[in-house]
Amino acid sequence: MQSTMATILRRSNRFVVIVFCICALYLFASLLPRYKEEEEEVPKPRDYAYVPSSFDWSTLPQRHPVPESEIASLPKGKPRDLPKVQFAFKADASSLGKARTQTLANRRSEVKDALLKTWTSYKKHAWMSDELTPVSGKGKNVFGGWAATLVDTLDTLWIMDLRAEFYEAVAAVATIDWAKTDQTACNFFETTIRHLGGLLSAYDLSGETVLLRKAIELGDMLYTAFDTSTRMPPFWFDFDKAKEGTLRPGTRDPSAAVTSSCLEFTRLAQITGENKYYDAIDRITRLLDRTQSSTRLPGMWPTFFDMANLRLTQDNDFTFGALADSLYEMFPKMYALLGGLEPVYEKLYRDAMETATKHLLFRPMVPDQADILFSGNAYVSQDSGVRLHPEGQHLACFVGGMFGLGGKLFNAEEHLEIGEKVTRGCVWAYDSMPTGIMPEIFGLLPCPTLEACDWNEKEWEAKGNKALRKGFQNARDARYLLRPEAIESVFMMYRITGKPEYQDAAWRMFQSIRKATETELAFSAISDVTAQGETAKTDSMESFWPAETLKYFYLIFSPPDVISLDEYVLNTEAHPLKRPR
């Protein structure tokens, strides 16, 4: 009996000790720093002097309302476990790895210095204006006078850890009145991607609720653009016509401008739970789906649309360049933003890329047979069928990143390969110019197929421009407007493949751009990238310079978990929008 009691007591004591140890371990663990959660924790919102806009667009009755029962809802269900977009980066603790890390930190610091120079001059000479003129040092309003550069740069300030500048900018944003403008209309597309996208991104990153309040104000204004007889938005959002209920879609509007608001309106719907925003853009998506196979180049859509009559199949020119670009860019991004729950975006993407690969992409004839591709323009006629115009555009350099993203999301390895070749083509064009910068528009001598072709010196002598690198026919528009599309794809390819060569190409590009465009105040567009020596500055600096170009340069030299492509989707103005989990 005593032996039994002793055994019970020993077991009881042992149980008490075990329970005590577990409790102690739990208490100890709870006191340890929770690094991951602290990294992801959003700071508590600050108090700002919020000034509501003087006109509340949400109170305006819809003249062409959608019945409640017909409003399309966000796809329901848990987001799918999509394929990883980013390369599986690993830390390199070797001496070479540490030296590389320091080099990247130095490069990142120089990009940040460029942003600070830009921001400081904007604040001093153009505060609350849309743009700074970087030579003459004045403010300029081209986007409603709603501080486009300020709003567009919000998330760049946050990403670069410029918190004091960010919070000062947020305080200024809190006072913007969307009803106060000297202009009678605003560009629907540009206001959506720059202002609405900028506000939503900055809110996603910082959690500052005043940014969401301003985004909802603006979202309600822009939502009114869909209050037309066809529920399609016009190119110009005329304020008085919108209030009168007399807005009309255009009969020849750029296809990108009237179809590329899907990311911003979808994210606004996700955050607010208001399906009306999603319904607006879903109607455009359904129209694209219905017409994709019936255009003159089935799979793609022409550059201009008749949205008043819902005719998307009449024109005969097709491109990934100006006026059509972001129409296609949105497909894989929308698929990711919706968590893979809306399959139509994969279908739209795959069919468009199949057609584009066959008819738009071309390989230039160059002496070393470089394995590079460019995206040209296609024209369709009854007499000659599909004709390729082998002309590259800086705007079309986004194509490399688009193919790369689609290749990863849809497990299409051949698309990733195409994306790399297009991206390398844009880098090649940068390296080819005396300034180290690609022209706005340029002609090339094409190979017959996407395979390598022999160099033809006689053809070059007859058609080439002797002042340019062999392979170029011309630099038809030799300007550089501080555009981001090339570095965008270089950044995307680095994050997708992990190849350091893209970081090195980015550094060459940044150094060239800085050297050719820097002014006493900031950075300016230039008139001729083929110039030898000093470049001619055009006194223009659009808001996409700090919003996109400098952001992409900063991100490519940053650790890969800073704005991970598996956590964010970047809109066409490089504003990261959070992917729901």
What's the sign of the alpha-carbon dihedral 507, 509, 515, 517? negative
User: If DSSP codes are grouped into helix, strand and coil, which group holds residue 304?
Assistant: strand
Catalytic position from the list 485, 488, 528, 548: 485
485 is an active site residue: yes
CA distances in angstroms from 547 to 154, 166, 377, 570, listed in the order given? 8, 13, 28, 11
∠ CA 125-126-128, rounded to 5°? 145
| Catalytically annotated residue among 217, 325, 391, 528 | 325
HEC-encoded secondary structure of 170-236: HHHHCCCCCCCCCCCEEEHHHHHHHHHHHHHHHHHHHCCHHHHHHHHHHHHHHHHHHCCCCCCCCCE
Both structure tokens of 99:
């030296």
Where are the alpha helices (H) located in 464-557, listed in sequence order? Answer: 485-497, 500-517, 544, 550-556
The reply to whether 190 belongs to the active site is yes
The catalytic position among 130, 165, 190, 253 is 190
81 is catalytic: no
Cα radius of gyration (the chain): 26
Rounded Cα distance between 22 and 20, Å, is: 6
Residue located via tokens 């304020």: 239
The span from the CA of 530 to the CA of 218, in Å, is 41
- CA dist 331 and 310 (Å) reads 20
- What lies within 8 Å, CB to CB, of 125 at 6+ separation is 132, 137, 138, 139, 521
- Catalytic entry in 155, 217, 346, 440: 440
Structure tokens that stand for 212 in this block: 């969401």
37 annotated active-site: no
* Number of residues assigned to the chain: 581
Catalytic positions are 190, 325, 440, 485
